Amino acid sequence: DEYFDLFIDALSRLIMNKDNKDPFSPKNALYVYQFFSILSMLLINSKMLFEYIRDRYVEDFKYFLKEDVILSRIPIQYPVYRFIPELIRSVHHRILYGEPNYNSLNRPKHHQLI
C-alpha cells in the first residue's frame, strides 16, 4: 500500500507543482512516460492493484492528474510526446470508467525509449 501511495504522490508532485507551470524538462517528460507506462501495466495485469488504485485514487485522476494539464506541460518537440497522449488516455479511462480487462488487440503499445 505504501509503495503505491509514494508512487502516486511522486507523480502528483511532478505534475501539480503550483510553483512551476513551465514546460517539463526532457527528463521529467520521460518520468511522466515511465509513471504512466508502469501504471498502465499494473492496471492491465493485476486485478487486485487495479481495484486498489481505482478505489484510492479515482478522485486524483478525475480532478488533478488530467490529460490536458499534463500534456500542456510537455513540449510537442520532445520525441516522447507522441507516445504520451494515448498512454495517459488509456490509464485515465481504466481508472475513471473501470475497464481493467483489455484484450491483447486493444492494449496500448508501450515503446522502449531508452
Report if residue 10 sits inside a domain.
Answer: yes
Counted domains in the chain: 1
Report if residue 92 sits inside a domain.
Answer: yes
Report if residue 113 sits inside a domain.
Answer: no
pLDDT reported for residue 105: 45
Report if residue 102 sits inside a domain.
Answer: no
pLDDT reported for residue 16: 84
Report if residue 71 sits inside a domain.
Answer: yes
Low pLDDT (below 70) residues in the chain? 18, 99-114
pLDDT reported for residue 84: 95
Output b/e per residue, 91-113; b: 16+ Cβ within 10 A: bbebbeeeebeeeeeeebeeeee
pLDDT reported for residue 4: 83
pLDDT reported for residue 103: 46
CB-CB contact of 98 with 52 (8 Å): no
- Structural domain containing residue 46: 2-16+24-97
Cα-based angle 82, 84, 90 (whole degrees, multiple of 5): 125
Report if residue 66 sits inside a domain.
Answer: yes
User: What gap in Å lies between CA 92 and CA 99, rounded to an integer?
Assistant: 10
Report if residue 36 sits inside a domain.
Answer: yes
